[in-house]
Structure 1
């Protein structure tokens, strides 16, 4: 335990000077419960390294299924598990994540639930952030288009976001659209989802916390 705390302190000092952490140091940092917002952002910023943004530049949802791979294998599984466990213990820290890092965390949750995931290139006007593909021996291949909204708890997700994703799912001939947010949905947005629940799912902060709490992580199985 003393060695672990010593490693975590060393890692914190490296964070403050902008140095990159080793795999063991990242794990040690996530095991601590004393990260401030700046430290958390610095740690998460080292994960995935930004390379995932270019993986889907030529993606066609159903025309080129062979390129749907597990881009988050760039993350060390042990580090990823500790990161998810950290946010399970401290869900309020989700609000400290930059939007892109929140997308990566949601992608990680889907990946740990058996999906192959890809992050789409960043865009300023919103839209699909993650393509998650599930393979089943019973029903075959299922493509989910996911839009993430890392909003403040008092900022709702409106009907425009939901209608836009619904149109994208229909046009792309995907199987399902999912909107995931750290806040909540307006009544109009929920009404649209209720009418199209066979192809559209809304997941708010409470659902997100439930996902994290039930996630089976390495070492916890």
Structure 2
């Protein structure tokens, strides 16, 4: 079993242990510590000894795992984003449903109000991102996962038709892989830059990095 939590939140909880004295108060209490997770609790043993597992002079504290998650406001989607942040290759094996939820969370982090469509009949797009302003804007977002095959021009043009049909401000098509050469040549141009945004895997990883460092207070 593993857990992912904001380092600052975890440190705050560990500092509650720091007031306990040892025979040598000069030695930092957090020099050696051991985590055990059982039934939703994190059991933390800290000691000044070199071998904490064999030491009996240390202290033990129990921290509620759910409380840590609550304080850090990290949900299951944040955990997926953190996994991709730590291992970029996982973006290629992400299930399409999880990929959509990740994209939604990233755009919410950018200040958008994002509404997903129904999973069974999405109508040619996966979600609508709305941003308030003097002139509110609505962006259709379509997500496509790939492992080896680049995203082709037919899918992009089908999405463009939907943008025109619904008179959306812009459309954003996102893939975890890359777009085909003909898509790049035709649609990644100045003529479409204010109308259609194409986000490939590397650009999406940049968004992941920004989200993690800004909202999850995490760094490798």
Q: Confirm or deny: 8 A CA contact 2:114 2:129 kept in the other structure.
A: yes
- Give secondary structure in 1 for the equivalent of 2:128: strand
Structure 1: state its 5+ residue gaps. 12-21, 28-75
TM-score, scaled to structure 1:
0.62
Match of residue 186, structure 1, among 168, 180, 185: 180
**Cα deviations across residues 59-107 of structure 1 (Å, max 9, x unaligned)?**
xxxxxxxxxxxxxxxxx94224444233211221122321111101100
Q: Tell me the equivalent position of 2:56.
A: none
**1:23–1:99 CA distance, 2 compared to 1 (3 A):** farther
Are 1:162 and 1:193, in contact at CA under 8 Å, matched by a contact in 2? no
Q: 1:125 to 1:155 in 2, by over 3 A?
A: farther
Which residue pairs with 2:7 in the alignment?
none
Structure 2 residue 161 is matched with structure 1 residue 167: yes
Please name the residue that 1:116 is paired with.
113
Q: 4+ runs of 1 displaced by more than 6 Å?
A: none
Higher normalized helix content (fraction of residues):
1
CA distance in 1, matches of 2:156, 2:65: 38
Within-5 A mapping of 1:2-21: 2-3=34-35, 6-7=36-37
Task: Determine helix, strand or coil for the equivalent of 2:136.
Answer: strand
What RMSD in Å do the two structures reach over aligned CA positions?
A: 3.0
SS in 2 for 1:209: helix
Aligned length: 158
Q: TM-score, normalised by structure 2?
A: 0.62
> Larger C-alpha radius of gyration, 1 or 2?
2
Distance 1:117 1:181 in 2: 18
Which residue is 1:24 aligned to?
66
Alpha carbons 1:81, 1:217 under 8 Å: kept: no
CA contact (8 A) 1:180 1:202 kept: yes
Structure 2 match to 1:219? 217
SS, match of residue 130 in structure 2: strand
Q: Which moved more, 1:170-179 or 1:81-90?
A: 81-90
Per-residue deviation, residues 150-172 of structure 1 (Å, max 9, x unmatched): 110x2100111111111111111
Confirm whether residue 148 of structure 1 aligns to residue 143 of structure 2. yes
CA distance in 2, matches of 1:201, 1:170: 14
Structure-2 change in CA distance of 1:125 and 1:118 (3 Å): closer
Distance, in Å, in 1 between the alignment partners of 2:78 and 2:177 is: 24
